[in-house]
Structure 1
Amino acid sequence: MTQPSRLLAKSYDHKKYPDHPPAYALLIQHERDVSEACKSLAEVMGAVAFFNAGLDPEWLPNFKLSLCANGWSQDLGKGNSHFQSMVTENPDTKQLLRHETISGLLLFQYPPLKTWFNLPEEIKIIALWGAMGHHRKFDQHTSANSLLPVMKVYVSHNDFNTILTEMAEDLNLEPPPQFQQDLIISGDTKNKNDIFAIEVLDDICYDFDNYKKHFQDEKKRRLLALVKGFGICADVAASAIAKGNEEANQYCLQEFIRESLSVHLNPKELTKLIHIWAWKTTELPPKKWNINQLPPGFKFLDFQNQVAASTSYLTLAVAGCGSGKSIAAYLWAKKWCEELEESTHFRLIFCLPTTGTTTEHFKDYALESGIPEEQISLTHSRSFVDLEMLATTSDQEELEPDTKPEDVAINVLKAQQDKIESLALWSTKLTVTTVDTVLGLMANARRSIYSLPALMQSAIVFDEIHALDERMFGHLMVFLKNFPQLPVLLMTASLPENRLQAIQNVRPDINLISGDSKLEELRRYELEYIQIKDNTWNDETVWNAIQDCLENRGENNGKVLWICNRVDWANKAYKQVLEKIKLGCFPDIPVNVYHSRFRYEDRSYRHRQVIDNFNKKHQPMLLITTQVAEMSLDISADLLISDLASIPSLIQRLGRLNRRAKYQSNPPKKAIICSINNLDKNSNPYPKNELQDAIQWLQNLINLSCTLSQKDLSDQFSFMENHQEFDYKKAEQNAIFFSGLWQTRPGMTRDPGYTISVILQQDYDSWKKANSNKQKPTQEWLRKYEVAIPFKNQVLKWDKRAGVPIAPDEDVIYDYDQITKLGTGAKWL
């Protein structure tokens, strides 16, 4: 390839721009934009990020210089023949080396530029490690494709020289060297004048590995991680903003960054949210609410006030299910908002473990808060599906004149679609999200890194932390350790002793607050553990209890919650109920089954249906479900039927029984826990030893010979705990945002699961028929129609579209009626 007239950073539409490339496509303009974004982020975010990470403010000048040098260095390597071919004449061009690797090669190994790029050693190393990892594709496994033709790096090009000249002026370097010929990089050693790609790459990795010893101090690792993270943010901001404008004078990155990151909550907005929630607990219609004050006689619980008053940067609230932890969190956030209003742009991020709990919380708090729609966000992988569902199924009354929840949901959806997706949280003051959004930062997850500026301006609530798997809990520990002055509230109904000890070890400043004693000691449960001879859905004791709850309700609402450990068990129980209905049992009683084996669109609808039906007073209902009930369903049952499960799972399941009980106004409700035959064969999804522990825990509770409280559940749990020490070193290794150093690759946010998301063949065929001119579905369509099924090796043989397996009709069937909305979902044939 002959030397091009202009060096490009990106491809562009030649029909739209026939005469010359638009500014956003030029390498020289992109370099300017990224460096400008780095400067702005350093100015706007540097001090607050340093404070959160406990770094010495005297390091700020080095941070700003490293970040700016990172920005200039990132894409210098794009000025090569392979990359330029890829963005111009041949999009399928393979590259001998990725462009960011070439950038590092030029500035760290190529003698003329290595000598010129003479920043202080540590600043230079941090800048280059950030630059070479800004696409999260550089580590010890990075390799050169030696079978490809030689690559020219256009170091003699005018654009390249201009970039180096501006870079020198900005970083206070000497004028750059002038090149008369281009640099040749080859995959072999045939020409001695060429740079041998494999050899130079090995040298770089060797030298970088030796330099790791200079980052044994955890504070230096924090500094490096911040430079790397903000460098990635600068690149995506520069690309996203510039692409919408033909010329550079049509946009201002500094203005965009300052305006986006100036969005903040104020105490009045949080006060309004709290007042609206309080009025919703009354029997008064919304038109009679005065949201400028609390309802007459309304008082917060002592433990809620204690949470709000906590001055520690880390607070842990341990309180039973349904005890008011969520509103305690907003009271806590309001206090921190008042505390930080003058010194920073305060935001709140509320994290939950699952998409279901996240959507429900968003609906119950943020959606009806009165905060402008464009400044609140529901953030998880399928959030747009749930927002669409909220927009079409909400049947609540108006909160304020002319403001319906479904209208707010529509406006939030539109606002999120209008925002630049990757930067959505930059201009959002209240975010309700899955925990992955924050803790994904520890695994170099793309969206989490993009959200780093917003995270650094936020107080963060992590709810249901007992539900975090080992890897994610480890990420939480590393996050807390490395951001010791970021306000964080942890909440849970119960916590194993070894996890509590792990938190206390990394953060001795923790303030532990227990739930309201009257509620924690309230007698809520009548517990029975029964031995099942065959299976639960054929047991006479179970059916008698169900019939009695549904038909002899008394003070009950007749809500029956039946939780099975496996989807196939839940479906069998559901079909058994339908058979009994045919025989005349349970007339006019709504019956449903809810689990994860539905298309997400169908699951989202069923979720709303289940919640709405359970909330109808004096209307009996029988719901059969799986572990999704443990957190995703904020419901209160009058009878609980449950398979034997792990102790934390049983505590959560019991939290759905008699959930609205307040002091002595509600009598205890019955819970029947059913044994599992042949634990060696049927223990999944729990380890056998956890079920054996649960049997002993249940027996200890029954031996108390009384109705039970949530305090009883947690006390007996603490007596049985496994005191194996949490492995923080392993957690540090997994948290590659800090431990990766010169290597930057995406890691795992959660432990591997047992299921895989697929698209049904029938759905893909329908899409293809309606979109014959398109090669693959959009991500939005995939998220809407994906179905989770148990993984089998057979999946590896299926065709894929956009990376998602297509499940053939002869392998997976789907039972769901789009008209009646009934069915049992997907299953293997």
Structure 2
Amino acid sequence: MEILGKTNQTLRGHIQDCLTVCNEIIARREPFLRQFCQKFGWNWEDVKQALRFAVWCHDIGKASDEWQDYIRDNGSRITHSLPSFGIGLMTSSMPKSFNNSPLYAAMLAVLAHHGQLHKDAFREDNFRWQDVTLPVDYINSHFEFFRQQEPSLHLKTWQPDTLSLGRICAPIKKLKEIIKGPEKLQFKILYSLMLNVLTTSDGYASGNAPDGGTPENPMGANLTREELSRVQNKFPFFNNILLKELRFVPKDSEPNKMQCEIVQQDSGRIILNAGCGEGKTAAALLFAQKLLKENCIDRIIFTLPTKFTANNLNRDLTDKYAIPEELVGITHGDASEFLRQRMQETENQQREQEIDEDEIHNLIMAQVFENSIYAKPITISTVDHLIMSLYHGYKFADRAFSNVASSLVVFDEVHYYEKHTMGAIAETMRRLTELQVPHLVMTATIPCAVRNELDKLVTNQPYRFQRAPAIIQGTSKPKTPFEIERLSHTLIDENDKSVSDELLAFVAQNIERRQIIFANQVARAKQIYLTLANSGITANLICYHSGFISKHRNEKEKIIRALFKSPKDRNAEEVRALEDRGFYNTDPCILVSTQVSELSLDISADVMYSEIAPIDSIIQRGGRLHRKGEYPHDNGYAHRMYIAPPYESDRANLPYDQEILQRSWDVVGQHYTFQNACDWVNVVYPESTSLMHAELAEAIDTDIVFGKKPQDNWGDDIEEEGRVVIRKKNYQTYDVVPYEFVETVEQDYRNYKTHSLSISEGVFCAALAQDKILFRKGTQKLTNRQGGTREIKIRFKTIKSRYTFRVGLELDEEAIPNLL
């Protein structure tokens, strides 16, 4: 009777397929991996041999009689990772001391290839009385095949026909005691590399197992190197060659001075201070290109503060920089909905075409996984996900770690973060420095005080600082894209809640222009939008803030980008998206938004109105005004930012600190230049607290291989000893489904994430008191290994308040007055 690895494939056939995939991955990445190992003092040939051995023995535990009974449905489920680890450990010539050996990393990868390791994994008392029966001749034949390929490994002959699983747990206990602390972080890179390649090889071989075959007549090996060599730009066979060849600047132009200077830098740790529209993204790509050509990295990670900014950069990289979509990944909480939208755009599906939702869901979930471990040549990520990849922040963090270590990490828009998150970013930057991972910090408004703190992260290793000149080409004059004018009144009256006549007059005066209105609170953005909508204006008017369901947020982002293009530059897909929602294919438009639109949005308005915000936010908002302009007066029109004064009450000024708002109001001048902006920032923020994050540092040092489970590390936004909080919220929020989408979520709970939104604690409590919060159950379909399905019910909250695509949850005076 054949030894099975799958229900339709022999164990030897499956493992042979895994090794074939592994060999192809190694062949494609070998020039980089050789240099990568050299950087850390590892012998590449030893690493490669250990990696191949891990693949060859990772499933040998399936040869046990007990697992063979299980796969044939004659026995209960039993671990195969633990006996595979034990057989590999006892068969190979393991070094007597740990000493960061590649073979130890390989065997730990075997142990972890079906689940993240943690401090309670494979405890001896859980396996003390468990033995497995092994086919001795089969195991020796299996390793003889590998011995012929790798004779220098000196594999031992296997003898026992039973293996005590409890006995195998003893060396694991010792390894748990040894592998922790900051000095073992480099070993984690080696372990993560082994785990990454092993699990990828296993997953690809399993996903491409042969058709046909039965337990009684299983199939053998199915994959060949020749076949795999034809696979291009699909997981795990991505190719970064194109990134080494693209220009990243417009056809008829050359890199600007800032971009040329960054390519010439001989440091892998740079802070780039440049204003909006100066070409920071192209500079980062050109810097990465240099490192790619030198085999210093083999991928790029862009980190951004919000989902909105991540989505916009994803579109920019593919649309503006001509990087093929299949080379660019994106990972954040709503990435699945964004990927669904991008998939539909790419395939240009017809409305009447029947769509297999399960197939689309599976394709998207596969991409979500690939992107979560930074598998593609470029991945756009929220900074939270990058930080959680350094410790057991999520299930696949250990697989992602080596991909992070082989990247250029770009921290974009770092001025956005509050001090607690900035402490976590600083700790991440310190660890990247210690691991020799190149990283680039990009910001328009970093105060000198913060920069000084970053320079202290690692003793005697200050960052290389580069500031863009922001001058008019061919002159020494600074760019002055717009003027600043102070308004006399707040945008909304604090007493009667009416929109300022001053604002309405200016909007009417500029009705033929592209306009943006920034309000600091969602409720005020809604109020301004509804007032304008009811005034009868004919220009395209759109409202955008954080209070829309994910599905609509992605759609609105696409519409906003289209509205701020000239009609002649809009493609057919963009025109259709506008028309579907009742917008005109004309030029004038008005965007009413909160601070969600102030970052990384490549649009340009002619005039802007903003409530006073912290000076760095004001500068960011100004980046959406006359974006490529050099003078404020252009073609007879004066581009201006109108700033409204602070409100009198602290509550009305939330989410910002009133003192910071007042200092910003006092310092902002009439003439905007980048140098002036930098000076204003330093006046408002003369000091910086020390950038530390003790909980993150402890988690990184603890979760080298074992450590905590993700759920034990997760601190959400509540500080608790031993838990990691990356972002602190100023107030509690609740996720709810607007009532009109209840049926959609009830029928398929997978729709919850794309049809829910967050509301504040005040809104939630008010709605609950009026019986507007209801509890419902959604259906989740689960599929087991044999393909059988079952359904479970998952509870969710819904809010019974009117929701529209125009404004989200509408201001309903009867239901929840003055809160939404």
Deviations 1:316-340 (A, max 9, x none): 3211223332333344455556x44
CA RMSD of the aligned region, Å? Answer: 5.0
Q: Does residue 63 in structure 1 map to residue 47 in structure 2?
A: yes
> Which letter maps to 1:513?
Q
In terms of mean alpha carbon deviation, does 664-673 or 211-220 score higher?
211-220
Structure 1 residues 55 and 415: CA distance shift in structure 2, 3 A:
farther
Residue of structure 2 in register with 1:590 after alignment: 540
Does the 8 Å contact 1:522/1:664 carry over to 2?
yes
Deviation at 1:441, TM superposition (A): 3.5
> Which letter maps to 2:698?
Q
Structure 1 residues 822 and 243: CA distance shift in structure 2, 3 A:
farther
Residue of structure 1 in register with 2:671 after alignment: 707
Residue of structure 2 in register with 1:210 after alignment: 177
Residue of structure 2 in register with 1:608 after alignment: 558
> Which letter maps to 1:59?
N
Deviation at 1:251, TM superposition (A): 0.8
Does the 8 Å contact 2:195/2:399 carry over to 1?
no
Q: Does residue 329 in structure 1 map to residue 280 in structure 2?
A: no
Residue of structure 2 in register with 1:561 after alignment: 517
Structure 1 residues 633 and 55: CA distance shift in structure 2, 3 A:
closer
Residue of structure 2 in register with 1:662 after alignment: 630
Residue of structure 1 in register with 2:249 after alignment: 274
> Which letter maps to 2:704?
G
SS at match of 1:121: coil
SS at match of 1:561: strand
Deviation at 1:345, TM superposition (A): 9.3
> Which letter maps to 1:127?
A
Deviation at 1:815, TM superposition (A): 0.8
Structure 1 residues 502 and 163: CA distance shift in structure 2, 3 A:
farther
Count of matched residue positions in the alignment of Structure 1 and Structure 2: 724
> Which letter maps to 2:97?
E
> Which letter maps to 2:559?
Q
Structure 1 residues 526 and 142: CA distance shift in structure 2, 3 A:
same
Distance 1:763 1:78 in 2: 46
Distance 1:262 1:305 in 2: 28
Identity of aligned residues (%): 17
Distance 1:214 1:807 in 2: 41
Residue of structure 2 in register with 1:263 after alignment: 239
Deviations 1:492-529 (A, max 9, x none): 21224465345434573743221224376627342538
Distance 2:314 2:661 in 1: 33
Residue of structure 1 in register with 2:571 after alignment: none
SS at match of 2:309: helix
Residue of structure 1 in register with 2:308 after alignment: 356
Structure 1 residues 447 and 259: CA distance shift in structure 2, 3 A:
farther
Distance 2:391 2:407 in 1: 20
1:512 alignment partner, one of 465, 481, 490 = 465
SS at match of 2:525: helix
Structure 1 residues 485 and 534: CA distance shift in structure 2, 3 A:
closer
Distance 1:165 1:752 in 2: 56
Does the 8 Å contact 1:44/1:258 carry over to 2?
no
2:120 alignment partner, one of 135, 141, 145 = 141
Does the 8 Å contact 1:67/1:127 carry over to 2?
yes
Distance 2:514 2:155 in 1: 80
Q: Does residue 495 in structure 1 map to residue 459 in structure 2?
A: no
> Which letter maps to 1:363?
R
Structure 1 residues 415 and 147: CA distance shift in structure 2, 3 A:
closer
Residue of structure 2 in register with 1:22 after alignment: 9
Distance 2:122 2:493 in 1: 55
Q: Does residue 528 in structure 1 map to residue 481 in structure 2?
A: no
SS at match of 1:270: coil
Structure 1 residues 230 and 308: CA distance shift in structure 2, 3 A:
same
> Which letter maps to 2:508?
E
Q: Does residue 464 in structure 1 map to residue 413 in structure 2?
A: yes
Deviation at 1:464, TM superposition (A): 2.0
Q: Does residue 726 in structure 1 map to residue 691 in structure 2?
A: yes
Structure 1 residues 174 and 813: CA distance shift in structure 2, 3 A:
same
1:178 alignment partner, one of 159, 163, 170 = 159
1:698 alignment partner, one of 665, 669, 682 = 665
Distance 1:262 1:783 in 2: 29
Residue of structure 2 in register with 1:628 after alignment: 596
Distance 1:450 1:133 in 2: 10
1:675 alignment partner, one of 620, 630, 646 = 646
Does the 8 Å contact 1:640/1:670 carry over to 2?
yes
1:153 alignment partner, one of 126, 132, 140 = 132
SS at match of 1:662: coil
Deviation at 1:559, TM superposition (A): 0.7
SS at match of 1:442: coil
Deviations 1:543-580 (A, max 9, x none): 233223222239x8251312223x344334434444xx
Distance 1:777 1:145 in 2: 39
> Which letter maps to 1:765?
E
Residue of structure 2 in register with 1:772 after alignment: none
> Which letter maps to 1:89?
D
SS at match of 1:628: helix
Residue of structure 1 in register with 2:581 after alignment: none
Distance 1:789 1:82 in 2: 52
Distance 1:385 1:415 in 2: 10
Distance 1:499 1:558 in 2: 35
Residue of structure 1 in register with 2:270 after alignment: 315
Deviation at 1:305, TM superposition (A): 3.1
> Which letter maps to 1:544?
D
Residue of structure 1 in register with 2:808 after alignment: 824
Distance 2:361 2:744 in 1: 29
Does the 8 Å contact 1:133/1:743 carry over to 2?
no
Q: Does residue 544 in structure 1 map to residue 501 in structure 2?
A: yes
Distance 1:85 1:149 in 2: 21
TM-score (norm 2): 0.72
Residue of structure 2 in register with 1:17 after alignment: none
Does the 8 Å contact 1:547/1:586 carry over to 2?
no
Structure 1 residues 713 and 461: CA distance shift in structure 2, 3 A:
same
Distance 2:229 2:696 in 1: 33
SS at match of 1:491: strand
Structure 1 residues 388 and 435: CA distance shift in structure 2, 3 A:
same
SS at match of 2:671: coil
Deviation at 1:787, TM superposition (A): 3.8
Does the 8 Å contact 1:437/1:447 carry over to 2?
no
Q: Does residue 367 in structure 1 map to residue 319 in structure 2?
A: yes
TM-score (norm 1): 0.71
1:250 alignment partner, one of 222, 226, 232 = 222
Deviation at 1:363, TM superposition (A): 3.1
> Which letter maps to 2:743?
D
Structure 1 residues 461 and 783: CA distance shift in structure 2, 3 A:
same
Structure 1 residues 86 and 390: CA distance shift in structure 2, 3 A:
same
Does the 8 Å contact 2:746/2:779 carry over to 1?
no
Residue of structure 2 in register with 1:283 after alignment: none
Does the 8 Å contact 1:524/1:668 carry over to 2?
yes
Unaligned runs of 5+ in 1: 13-20, 186-194, 276-292, 395-402, 770-775
